[in-house]
Structure 1
Amino acid sequence: MNKLESDILNRLLHEPFTNKRALAEVSGDSLEIVNHELENLMNEGYIDKSIHLTDKALSEFEQKKPQRAIILAAGVGMRMVPINTEMPKGLIEVNGEPLIERIIKQLHEVGIEEIYIVVGFMKEKYDYLICKYGVHLIVNKDYVKKNNLYSVNLVKKYIRNAYIIPCDIWCDKNPFRRHELYSWYMVSDLANNESNVRVNWEMKLEVIPPKTGGNTMIGICYLVKEDADVVAERIEALCNNPQNSRLFWEEALYYRGRMIVSARVVRSSEVVEINTYEQLRELDCNSNQLKTDAIQTICSVFKVKPKEVTNISVLKKGMTNRSFVFSCKGKKYIMRIPGEGTDQLINRKKEADVYQAIDGRRICDDVVYINPNNGYKITKFWENARVCDPLNYEDVRKCMKRLRHFHELRLKVAHDFDIFGQIEFYETLRNGAPSIYKDYEKTKMKILSLRHYIDSHVTEKVLTHIDAVPDNFLFINKNGMEEVRLIDWEYAGMQDPHVDVAMFCIYALYNKYQVDQLISAYFTEGCNDAIRIKIYCYIAVCGLLWSNWCEYKRNLGVEFGEYSYRQYSYAKEYYRIVQEKIY
Structure 2
Amino acid sequence: MNIVHKQVLKKIKQYGKISQRQLSEVCGFSLGKVNQSIQFLQKQEYMDEEWNLTEKSLKLIDLYKPKKAIILAAGLGMRMVPINTEVPKALLTVKGETLIERLIHQLHEVNVYDITVVVGFMKEEFEFLIDEYNVKLVCNMDYAKKNNLHSLAKVGSDLINTYIIPCDIWCETNPFNACELYSWYMVKNQETDNTSVRLNKKYELVKTKLNEVGDTMIGISYISLDDAGFVAKRIYSMSSQREYEHCFWEDVLYVKDKMIVSPYVFNDAYEINTYEQLRDLDEDNEILNSDLMNIIKDTIGCEISKIMNIQPLKKGMTNRSFSFEVNSKRYIMRVPGEGTEKLINRKHEYDVYQAIKDENICDPVIYMNPENGYKITEYIHDAHACDSTDFSDVSKCMKKLRNFHNKKLVVNHTFEVFDELEKYESYWQGTPSIYRDYKATKAHIYELKEFVDAQPKEWGLSHIDSVPDNFLFSDDELYLIDWEYAGMQDQHIDIAMFAIYSLYDREDVEKLIDAYFDGQCKDLVRIKIYAYIAICGLLWSNWCEYKRNLGVEFGEYSLKQYRYAKEYYRIVKEALEERGMKLCTK
Range of TM-score over shorter length: over 0.9
- With 193-202 and 45-54 compared, the bigger mean Cα shift is at 45-54
Moved more, 50-59 or 88-97: 50-59
Against the structure 1 CA distance between its residues 60 and 442, is the aligned structure 2 distance closer, same or farther, given a 3 Å change threshold? farther
2:544 equivalent to 1:550 = yes
Cα offsets for 1:8-32 (capped at 9, x unmatched): 1112223333665554454343443
1:507 counterpart residue number: 501
Specify the alignment match of 2:559 in structure 1. 565
Cα deviation digits, residues 143-163 of structure 1 (max 9, x gap):
111111110000112422111
| Preserved contact between residue 341 and residue 553 of structure 1 (Cα < 8 Å) | no
Post-superposition Cα deviations, 1:176-234, rounded to whole Å, max 9, x if no partner, equal 11110000011111111121111112321111213210111111111012312111111
Which residue of structure 2 aligns with residue 182 of structure 1? 182
* 1:284 counterpart residue number: 282
Deviation larger for 87-96 or 506-515: 506-515
What SS does the corresponding residue of 2:47 show, helix, strand or coil?
coil
SS at match of 1:414: coil
Cα pair 2:175 2:266 within 8 Å, conserved: no
Equivalent pair of 1:197/1:206 in contact (CA under 8 Å): yes
Asked if structure 1 preserves the Cα contact closer than 8 Å seen for 2:4 and 2:33, the reply is no
CA contact (8 A) 2:333 2:375 kept: yes
Q: Secondary structure at the match of 1:505?
A: helix
Counterpart among 324, 331, 341 of residue 329 in structure 2: 331
Mark the CA change 1:569 to 1:105 in structure 2 (over 3 Å): closer, same or farther: farther
Please identify, of 572-581 and 246-255, the stretch whose mean Cα deviation from structure 2 is larger.
572-581
**In 2: Cα distance, 1:176 partner to 1:297 partner:** 41
Q: Match of 1:64?
A: 64
- The C-alpha deviation readout for 1:38-77, integer Å capped at 9, x for no partner, is 3333444433455432322211111111111111111111
Alignment partner of 1:472 is 2:470: yes
State whether structure 2 residue 200 is matched by structure 1 residue 206.
no
User: Structure 1 regions of 5+ residues with no counterpart?
Assistant: none
* Maintained 8 Å contact 2:191/2:215: yes
Amino acid paired to 1:566: K
CA distance in 2 between partners of 1:354 and 1:498 (Å) = 18
2-side partners of 1:67 and 1:82: how far apart? 37
Encode CA deviations 1:458-506: one digit per residue, 9 max, x unaligned.
Answer: 42321100000111111123xxxx1211111110011111111111122
Counterparts in 2 of 1:451 and 1:21: CA distance versus 1, 3 Å: closer
The residue that corresponds to 1:246 in the other structure is: 246
**Is the 1:195–1:210 contact (alpha carbons within 8 Å) kept by the matching residues of 2?**
no
2:422 maps to which residue?
424
Deviations, residues 430-475 of structure 1 (Å, cap 9, x unaligned): 2222233343333322322221222222423211000001111111
Match of 1:52 in 2: 52
Partner of 2:419, secondary structure, is: helix
Is the 8 Å Cα contact of residues 336 and 377 (structure 1) preserved in structure 2? yes
Following the alignment from structure 1 to structure 2, what is the Cα–Cα distance between the partners of residues 374 and 114?
42
Q: Do the aligned residues in 2 keep the contact of 1:70 with 1:159 (CA within 8 Å)?
A: no
Q: Deviations over 1:332-374 (max 9, x none)?
A: 2211111121111111111111111112110112111111111
Q: 1:320 to 1:14 in 2, by over 3 A?
A: closer
In structure 1, the residue matched to 2:402 is 404
| Deviation larger for 486-495 or 456-465 | 456-465
Give the corresponding residue for 2:125. Answer: 125
Maintained 8 Å contact 1:116/1:138: yes
State the SS of the aligned residue for 1:76.
coil
Greater CA drift, 493-502 or 436-445: 436-445
Q: Per-residue displacement from partner, 1:79-111 (whole Å, max 9, x unpaired)?
A: 111111111111111123211111111111111
Q: Distance in 1 between matches of 2:456 and 2:127?
A: 53
Question: Per the alignment, do residues 553 and 51 of structure 1 end up closer, same or farther by CA in structure 2, a change over 3 Å counting?
Answer: same
How far off is 1:246 after superposition? 0.9
Task: Give the % identical residues.
Answer: 53
Question: Aligned pair in 2 of structure 1 residues 368, 208: CA closer, same or farther (>3 Å)?
Answer: same
Alignment of 1:507-546 (within 5 A): 507-546=501-540
Shift of 1:282: 1.1
Which position in structure 2 is the counterpart of 1:197?
197
Amino acid at match of 2:34: V
- Once the two structures are superposed, residues 356-397 of structure 1 have per-residue CA deviations (whole angstroms, 9 ceiling, x without a partner) of 111211011211111111111111222212211112211111
- CA spacing shift, 1:529–1:23, aligned 2, 3 Å: same
Give 3-state SS (helix, strand or coil) of 1:157's partner: coil
Q: How does 1:386-405 map to 2 (within 5 A)?
A: 386-405=384-403
Q: 2:505 & 2:211 partners in 1: Cα distance?
A: 39
> In the aligned structure 2, how far is the partner of 1:310 from the partner of 1:35?
50
Counterpart position of 2:491: 497
Tell me: CA distance 1:25–1:389, structure 2 relative to 1, closer, same or farther (3 Å).
closer
| Alpha-carbon distance in 2 for matches of 1:390, 1:312 | 31
CA distance in 2 between partners of 1:171 and 1:428 (Å):
49
Q: Does the 8 A contact of 1:197 with 1:208 survive in 2?
A: yes
Paired with 2:338 and 2:355, the residues of 1 have a C-alpha distance of 27
Instruction: State the match for 2:97 in structure 1.
Output: 97
Distance in structure 2 (CA, Å) of the matches to 1:52 and 1:336: 62
- Deviates most, 412-421 or 41-50: 41-50
Q: 2:454 aligns with which of 445, 453, 456?
A: 456
Normalising to structure 1: TM-score of the pair?
A: 0.95
Q: Which piece of structure 1 moves more, 551-560 or 459-468?
A: 551-560
- Cα distance in 2 for partners of 1:25, 1:319 equals 49
Amino acid at match of 1:524: D
Counterpart residue number, 1:385: 383
Is 2:197–2:205's contact at 8 Å kept on the other side of the alignment?
Answer: yes
Structure 2 CA distance for partners of 1:298 and 1:21, relative to 1, 3 Å: closer
The CA distance in 2 between the partners of 1:23 and 1:363, in whole Å, is 68
Which structure 2 segments of 5+ residues have no match? 578-586
The answer to which of 489-498 and 319-328 deviates more is: 319-328
Please name the residue that 1:78 is paired with. 78
Task: Report if aligned partners of 2:472, 2:479 keep a CA contact under 8 Å in 1.
Answer: yes
Q: How does 1:200-239 map to 2 (within 5 A)?
A: 200-239=200-239
Instruction: From the superposition, tell whether residues 512 and 330 of structure 1 become closer, same or farther in structure 2 (CA, over 3 Å).
Output: same
Q: Distance in 1 between matches of 2:467 and 2:22?
A: 70
CA distance 1:360–1:130, shift in 2 (3 Å):
same
- Structure-2 separation of matches of 1:570 and 1:378: 35
Q: Distance in 2 between matches of 1:316 and 1:356?
A: 27
The residue identity in structure 2 corresponding to 1:360 is: D
Asked if 2 retains the 8 angstrom alpha-carbon contact of 1:110 and 1:177, the reply is yes
Task: Calculate the aligned-residue CA RMSD, in Å.
Answer: 1.9
Distance 1:174 1:168 in 2: 15
Q: Which one-letter code corresponds to 1:488 in the other structure?
A: D
The alpha-carbon deviation at position 318 of structure 1 amounts to: 4.2
In the alignment, the residues of structure 2 paired with residue 525 and residue 271 of structure 1 have an alpha-carbon distance, to the nearest angstrom, of 65
